[in-house]
Amino acid sequence: MLKRFTGEREFSDFFNPILLRELKRAVRSRFFVGAFVLVQLAMILFVTFGMATATTTGQVQSISAIFWVIIGIYVVVLNPLMGFNAIAQEYRDGRHELLVITQLNTNHILLGKLFALNIQGWLTVLSLAPYLTVRYFAGAINPIQELLTVAGILYASIIATTLTVSSSAARTRWGRVVFFLFGGFLLFLFSGMAGTAAAGAGPIGGIAILIMFQSFFSFLFFMSASGMLNRQAVASAAVFDTTPMAAL
């Protein structure tokens, strides 16, 4: 028996192999390590200098806003952008066929890619917990507001990642761009419409309707991507293969 295979059933056996592989690869990547280190450095600077110099509530809120904008740019914009390559790279290297010929179906592959990318963002946000704790004990933050901001960033990262990973299942570069722009347009248009329609429903009702609409579109993007990946790899009548976005 090989040296590395001496333990009993592993915890990792319960997870999607694509997720494990992608995470393993990602946490070793320069992009993740670089971004992670930069975020930590920025946080140390904000916590030490920012909190020490901010005296009024307005100043504290401004610093807090900058803090979350930096995190938001990484988690909601930069990290999801990596999703554009998620499936496209598999096409380029001819691996998508090798994957679908296994017991994995296209949904497994997409979900693995999607969660791997999201978890990278979540890890970064999680690593901020010590700084948030320090700021809380310094009395500089409203914990409820901060937690809602974290939830908002994580939610936005899921939507953005779903859009980019789904776009990456298009065969051509132009296909990916069109999918992304069209998907983004649909998302904003219907989110805006839902937001307006839900204005009378109060903040919680409005947010619930917004989440419902955005989740619905994310699901459509995901299923469209699954259909596209299917068509590229498995031309099989018995496997789910439609493009819900086209149906719209």
> If binding is defined by CB under 8 A, does position 94 make contact with another protein?
yes
> If binding is defined by CB under 8 A, does position 25 make contact with another protein?
yes
> If binding is defined by CB under 8 A, does position 11 make contact with another protein?
no
Write the DSSP string, 111-152: HHHHHHHHHHHHHHHHTTHHHHHHHHHTT---HHHHHHHHHH
Least separation, in Å, of the C-beta of 166 and another protein? 21
Least separation, in Å, of the C-beta of 12 and another protein? 8
Among residues 95, 146, 171, 211, which is the contact residue for another protein, using CB under 8 A?
Answer: 95
Least separation, in Å, of the C-beta of 121 and another protein? 22
Least separation, in Å, of the C-beta of 107 and another protein? 14
Q: In terms of CB distance, is 157 or 230 closer to another protein? A: 230
Q: How far apart are CA 224 and CA 220, in angstroms?
A: 6
Q: How far apart are CA 220 and CA 35, in angstroms?
A: 31
Subset of 96-115 contacting another protein (CB under 8 A): 97-104
Question: Are 120 and 32 contacting, i.e. CB atoms less than 8 angstroms apart?
Answer: yes
Subset of 206-245 contacting another protein (CB under 8 A): 233-239
Stretch of 5-13, 45-53, 58-66, 216-224 lying at the interface with another protein (CB under 8 A): 5-13
> If binding is defined by CB under 8 A, does position 87 make contact with another protein?
no
Sign of the four-CA dihedral 10, 16, 22, 23: negative
Burial of residue 155, with CB atoms counted within 10 A of its CB: 0-12 exposed, 13-18 middle, 19 or more buried: middle
Residues 6+ apart with CB under 8 A from 29: none
Question: Are 70 and 39 contacting, i.e. CB atoms less than 8 angstroms apart?
Answer: yes
Return residues touching another protein (CB under 8 A). Answer: 1-2, 4-5, 8-10, 13, 17-18, 20-21, 24-25, 28, 93-95, 97-104, 233-239
